[in-house]
């Protein structure tokens, strides 16, 4: 949630509906490297929304690749 506030000032300032799909704890460098890898692999699904926001040119995708969908499913379905 803190990341969302950094991007938009406040959560209410975001003009679109959004959902956090994955909150992955870990070393900042490892998480950044993973983000870069997935962004490169999903480049074909990248789009720019009609209303701009911080990150709108690099954070919007019309689809997720299977590998990322599987990671999201696995992390979100782990037991306590």
User: Given this model, what pLDDT does residue 22 score?
Assistant: 83
pTM above 0.85, yes or no: no
How many Cα atoms occupy the beta-carbon half-sphere of 48 within 13 Å?
3
Tens-digit pLDDT profile for residues 45-56: 999 999 887 778
Q: 16 by DSSP, 3-state: which? A: coil
Domain definitions of the chain by residue range:
2-76
| DSSP structural state of residue 35 | H
- Tokens 């782990």: give the residue: 78
What's the N-to-C CA distance of the chain in angstroms? 20
The two tokens of residue 61 are 């995708």
The two tokens of residue 14 are 């975001």
Is it the case that residue 44 has pLDDT exceeding 60? yes
CB 61 within 8 A of CB 38: no
């Amino acid at each position: 949630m803190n990341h969302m506030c950094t991007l938009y000032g406040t959560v209410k300032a975001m003009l679109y509906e959004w959902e956090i799909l994955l909150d992955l704890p870990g070393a900042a460098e490892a998480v950044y490297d993973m983000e870069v890898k997935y962004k490169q692999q999903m480049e074909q699904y990248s789009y720019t929304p009609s209303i701009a926001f911080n990150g709108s040119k690099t954070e919007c995708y019309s689809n997720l690749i299977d590998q990322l969908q599987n990671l999201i499913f696995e992390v979100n379905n782990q037991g306590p």
